[in-house]
Amino acid sequence: MTYPHVQYLREAELKHGRLAMLAFVGILVQSVTHIPGYPSETNWLNALNAAYADKNASLGVVQISIFAMIVEGKFYPHDGWCGQMDREPGDLGFDPLGFTKKPGFDMKTAQLKELKNGRLAMIAFAAFLASANMPGSVPGLGASALRRDSAVASSSALCGKTLAVAQPQAEASKTAARYTTQVILPSLAWIRTGLKAAGLKPCELKAVTLAGNDILIGKTEAGKLFGVGNLCPHIGTPMSEGADVIGDVIVCPLHGSSFKVTTGELLDWCVSPPIIGPLTGLLIEKKNLLIFEVRESGIFGGGDIEVLVDTNAKKAYEADYWKGLLDAQGKDDGSFY
Ligand code: FES
């Protein structure tokens, strides 16, 4: 006899088909609606991470996982490998509404329907996956592609020493630029940086640009991951150009302003060089440093570092700019940039 036996293969096919049918429905449903009180994530590839980021939803995922383990343990078809199963492949005896007991129920036809729908769902799921990873590879599914807006920007610094970072190629876009003067509301999303936490040493800094936000990813001396704005709130010097991390404090390389990386709190404002630094500090209002939430992707972490960013930040900034220009031509509401 050739192993695995067809019983085992049919059991596997049915299981994959059922999972694919659930996945297909799940992908469609969660992209248009969500259960109130639970996290919302329209990108299905990020949905599990969004669930793990929420305490209640992550407990739900744990419950589902435990339930799946129990079912798998009870119904695992180990005897099917050599054709010795004591049940029909796929028959778990689950029929709470008694469909199979109804008069005229044709079991063979129902089994065939399930098999065909399962196969179709597996193909559909594979298409979603291909489209997400290779945008445009599946006709009609271009919009479902996962956006990996992870342009790793210019430079990095290790305790003040600037290091070179590979610059990813910008993707060619055929989308024409559009401008608006409307009020743009924030739209927060977790975006992958393409960096791994394990690749960062304590005190090391790397600059990334995500959805138009200049962000500095780094680790404190104790090795805690953080994300802050890369531009110093004094006059916009890029912190990546030689900032020092001391403990959980980051020090601007130009005039020595220092901020807590965990809260962004300003500790010292323009302290160097003597006289000139404090004088330049008088010209600009004191501000805290912008901070960003960071996390590691993957069910158990260890994946890319992700940052929670406002994907509308650039559009909102530009809206004010265009409002100012249009107002000069008498086309807007009189406010100015
Ligand atoms: S530019 Fe950073 S303190 Fe002056």
Render pLDDT for 259-294 as a digit per residue (tens, 0 to 9): 999 999 999 999 999 999 999 999 899 999 999 999
Q: Could you report the per-residue pLDDT of 293-329, keeping only the tens digit for each?
A: 999 987 777 788 999 999 888 877 777 776 666 656 6
> How confident is the model at residue 153, as a pLDDT?
39
Q: Which pLDDT band holds residue 216 (cuts at 50, 70, 90)?
A: very high
> How confident is the model at residue 161, as a pLDDT?
44
More confident call, 118 vs 322? 118
The region, left, alpha or beta by phi > 0 then psi within -120 to 50, assigned to residue 193 is alpha
- Contacts with 137 (C-beta within 8 Å, 6 or more apart), sequence order: 130, 131
> How confident is the model at residue 152, as a pLDDT?
40
Q: Which of ligand 1's atoms lies nearest the C-alpha of 236?
A: 1
Q: Which of ligand 1's atoms lies nearest the C-alpha of 277?
A: 4
Residue 256 CA to ligand 1 center (angstroms) comes to: 6
Q: Which pLDDT band holds residue 165 (cuts at 50, 70, 90)?
A: very low
16 is in an annotated binding site: yes
Look at the pTM and tell me if it is higher than 0.85: no
> How confident is the model at residue 200, as a pLDDT?
93
Listed ranges 45-49, 72-76, 242-246; the one with the highest mean pLDDT: 242-246
Q: Is 266 helix (H, G, I), strand (E, B) or coil?
A: strand
Which residues are near ligand 1 (CB < 6 Å)? 232, 234-235, 237, 252, 254-255, 257, 270
Dist. CA 142–CA 135, nearest whole Å: 6
Q: How large a percentage of the chain has pLDDT more than 90?
A: 37
Q: Is the pLDDT of residue 257 over 60?
A: yes
CB contact at 8 A, 314 and 291: no
Domains and CATH numbers, the chain: 6-143 (1.10.3460.10), 155-169+178-328 (2.102.10.10)
Q: Which of ligand 1's atoms lies nearest the C-alpha of 269?
A: 3
